[in-house]
Amino acid sequence: MSGTRKFSDTGPVKVPDNQTFRKFSAVLIDTDIAMKEASMRAVEAENSLKIAKLEIDRISDLLSSRTTECETLREEIKQLKTDLEDTKRQTKHVQHSRNEEKLKFENDREIIRLEFGKQINELKVELEKFKSAYRKATIQLDNIKRNADKRGQMAENAEKCANEKIEGRVVRNVIL
């Protein structure tokens, strides 16, 4: 009965021997260490969980702000598209107006060019008429001058003849 004791309530208790006690102590120590490590891991896990929750909250807030930014940007893009379409319509309208004005200008310029061409042609015809009239007048003037010269020559010749006849009579009268 070296290893047993008797307690009145509990019955016989066996006292472990030294080697069993050491094994049991080692198991208790290992279990205690394992429990401490598990407790540390649990605390680390709780801390990691808290950090993860904070990170999730941060990311959720970031996602929320990004979502708000995206909605704002979508609205801005929608407005920009509307503005772009309005600008395109205005540009088309302005371009169309410019093309119409350019076409009108070209047509007006062509009409003016044709009118000036017509006037120039009429003036050329008139100029040719004046040139023709000038040539006729020049020819007539030359003819009148020639005729006047001929008449003058004829008058001079007639005067000479008359003077010669008169002198011939005077000389005959003097001689007689």
Amino acid at 34: A
- pLDDT tier at 14, thresholds 50, 70, 90: low
User: What's the distance, Cα to Cα, between the start and end of the chain in Å?
Assistant: 232
CB neighbours of 174 closer than 8 A, spacing ≥ 6?
A: none
Which pLDDT score, from 0 to 100, does residue 1 have? 43
The pLDDT tens digits of the residues spanning 142-172 come to: 999 888 888 888 888 888 888 888 877 766 6
Instruction: State the DSSP H helix or E strand holding residue 5, giving kind and residue range, or none if neither.
Output: strand 4-7
**What single DSSP character describes residue 2?**
T
The ranges assigned to domains in the chain are 4-163+171-175
Amino acid at 135: R
